Structure 1
């Protein structure tokens, strides 16, 4: 289990580090001028909707894939499906962050919120057990 956990942690770290690096380089976060709160109007509401949609979609896809796991399997056997579900979840969040970065850099703060959430999803053995157990308890 430790080797598999180490692998998923490295993948998570690479996704987070790549996204953060892109935001620093392309978003020019080192100047801090891009971190001001943009004005939200009817034409820019889509950029506010992107992180919200990404949050709900990533969690929905994650839980949908986990529900397909046979509850009779051991934790070791469930790990492959959990890793796949996590990758889908992280890819949705990373994609949303990049959409904001490349389409309208004025709303960079929303992409940073997505990245913060992505970083907080770091896989641990306790989180994996909790996520898998919560599915079978109907939560």
Structure 2
């Protein structure tokens, strides 16, 4: 029997919320402990180069791999297999955003440079905007007419 799509997406939403919440709490705690907000770009600080590059790579790679994994979903796959592949693609996307955000917060903790905190905030906001929903699932995954009927029936 196929799993309930709503339950699968709810599980993915909980994972998403935990990741966003974890980064946000880590960022707030780090800011409260550090308290500095230096807007100075020290050219000797290696993080001044690494953090923006890793942040941009995380952003673009998350989009690229997510779309690539969704393209690998066959329209003839079962709904449960499509849900599993969608969850896997989403978690990959979240991880590729979470890693650079943690790096940014860590770099901020070491230097107090505001640039790193800003990069982390943008990554967390973007990650938050990636919250899974039934609408996004039905728009992003190639569903057959039978899948759509099954999805709507099991959703009730």
Q: TM-score, normalised by structure 2?
A: 0.73
Runs of 4+ in 1 over 4 A off after TM superposition: 40-43
**Which has the larger displacement, 39-48 or 62-71?**
39-48
Given candidates 113, 118, 121, the residue that maps to 1:109 is: 118
Unpaired runs of 5+ residues, structure 1, are 134-139
Q: TM-score, normalised by structure 1?
A: 0.81
Secondary structure at the counterpart of residue 72 of structure 1: coil
**Which has the larger displacement, 41-50 or 70-79?**
41-50
CA distance in 1, matches of 2:12, 2:129: 14
Q: Which residue of 1 aligns with 2:93?
A: 89
Does the Cα contact within 8 Å between 2:73 and 2:85 map onto a contact in 1? Answer: yes
Task: Work out which of the two has the higher radius of gyration on C-alpha atoms and give 1 or 2.
Answer: 2
Secondary structure at the counterpart of residue 27 of structure 1: helix
Deviation at 1:47, TM superposition (A): 2.2
Given candidates 32, 41, 52, the residue that maps to 1:39 is: 41
How many residues align structurally? 131
Given candidates 120, 126, 131, the residue that maps to 2:135 is: 126
- Provide the alpha-carbon RMSD of the alignment: 2.3
Given candidates 13, 17, 23, the residue that maps to 2:21 is: 17
Secondary structure at the counterpart of residue 77 of structure 1: helix
